[in-house]
Structure 1
Amino acid sequence: MAATTLDLRNVPPAERHPRIHEAFDDLDSGEALELVNDHEPKPLFYEMQAEVDAFDADGYEVEQRGPTEYVARLPKR
């Protein structure tokens, strides 16, 4: 599965979700958006699950790689 990576650690919080949604919309079916973040993106998971039909919640993964580094994979159906 191809993935597009978006590093959000230096993006102001107010700009993060719009950028995520824009990048996710640009994906083709079967691709995934990989996010690098400074916190666990649990609220984003619930937002995507509730609002984005193409989001594959069952395929969602998140890994903590350090105290302030989380990598989440958001697959698109």
Structure 2
Amino acid sequence: MSEAQPVTNIDVRVIPPHERHPQIFGALGALTAGQSLQITSDHDPRPLLYQLATNFPGEFGWEYLEQGPEVWRLDINRMAGESESSDEEHSGCDCCCGSNH
């Protein structure tokens, strides 16, 4: 039986808005195949999912654990694959979140 992979949790409700995406993408870049990141938010993180699907196709899978209306929880996992991008590629989110990344 395989050992469960550790899960990282980020509660973006306590992070200033301009720091949210950089922290999320930094944590995603640190994941190895099979590891997960759980995000807790006060809104549906759909824009984040669009960014993942567009910028990192096939690298991450996700599942809603809770879908509002007060709290959204999402599990994002690094998919197993031959090519894993470097942390440098995940250091920014290439969006308009107001961050200086």
TM-score (norm 1): 0.83
Q: 2:18 aligns with which of 14, 19, 27?
A: 14
Task: Give aligned-pair identity as a percent.
Answer: 31
Q: Are residues 1:62 and 2:64 paired?
A: yes
- Residues 34, 26 of structure 1: alpha-carbon distance in 2 compared, 3 angstrom cutoff: same
* C-alpha RMSD over aligned residues: 1.8
How big is the shift at 1:68?
A: 2.1
Q: Which amino acid aligns with 2:46?
A: K
Structure 2 length-normalised TM = 0.65
Partners of 2:73 and 2:38 in 1: CA distance: 7
- Number of residue pairs aligned between Structure 1 and Structure 2: 75
- Where in structure 2 are the equivalents of 1:1-77 lying within 5 Å? 2=5, 3-53=7-57, 55-57=59-61, 60-64=62-66, 66-77=68-79
Structure 2 segments unaligned to the other structure (5+ residues): 80-101
Deviation per residue, 1:7-59 (Å, 9 max, x gap): 110111111111000001111111111001111100000001111246323xx
- In structure 1, the gaps of 5 or more residues are none
Greater share of residues in strand:
1
